[in-house]
Amino acid sequence: MTDNWTSPKNILVILAHPDDPEFFCGATLARWARAGHQITYVLMTCGDKGYNPATHLDMTPEKLCGLRHMEQNNAAKIIGASAVHFLDLADGYLIPSLDLRRDIVREIRRYKPDILVTCDPQNLFAQYGINHPDHRACGQIVLDAVFPAAGNLVYFPELLKEGFQPHMPKEVWCSLTSQPNTTLDVTDTWDTKLQAILEHKTQVPDADKLIERMKSRRTEDSTDENPRYEEKFRVVKYA
């Protein structure tokens, strides 16, 4: 299962926070944009709790929300995504509810992706420790929306009244996974990923340390002089 598609694809990325697309799979998204695929982001929150009130005395959730909108749009341009949309739900409070499932079914039917990208809801632990609950909730909501609801007429008939016809993605790519079945070599676009991450200035207090950390993630079979980088996914195909 690879990304050697023979025609341009409509790719929808649904994740929890600004900077999730870049950190989780930015090099892959840049690779796809470079190949001519159309990429749209839908982010559930604006990440308005992503600061420490004890050290950022002049920051407020409302101010940070606006900054993170701007940062994410700038990062998406570097990646090559065509559009960014925010649901602006409460950061840190995502729950896999039926209402949110309906909202995501609506977005899937609105954008009609061939390829849907989200994150793995089963990944409790990440490289930085405990995986954020929003990440896990987002993945659960998206996967529950994909199957069995998004492509089925009898799920959420109220969406039909809004004009949203059923649609089923052909593939779902789960990033930030501990059980991958697909690995992409993204060496050629790793620097693009880094450039995009650095646009998230409110989340990157020390750019040099971040660059050093990200460059250390080269594959074990490569060297500092000739690094190779990969991004891994759990991919489910429906067609």
Q: Report, as an integer, the average pLDDT of 68-84.
A: 98
pLDDT, residue 123, reads 94
pLDDT, residue 55, reads 81
Dihedral of CA atoms 142, 148, 150, 153 in degrees, nearest 10, equals -160
Q: If you average pLDDT over every residue of the chain, what do you get?
A: 96
pLDDT, residue 57, reads 80
For residue 239, pLDDT over 90 is answered with no
For residue 2, what pLDDT band results from cuts at 50, 70 and 90? confident
For residue 216, what pLDDT band results from cuts at 50, 70 and 90? very high
Q: Report, as an integer, the average pLDDT of 187-214.
A: 97
Largest CA distance in the chain: 58
pLDDT, residue 1, reads 52
pTM of the predicted model as reported, rounded to 2 decimal places:
0.96
Domains and CATH numbers, the chain: 10-237 (3.40.50.10320)
pLDDT, residue 117, reads 98
pLDDT, residue 176, reads 96
For residue 225, pLDDT over 70 is answered with yes
For residue 208, pLDDT over 70 is answered with yes
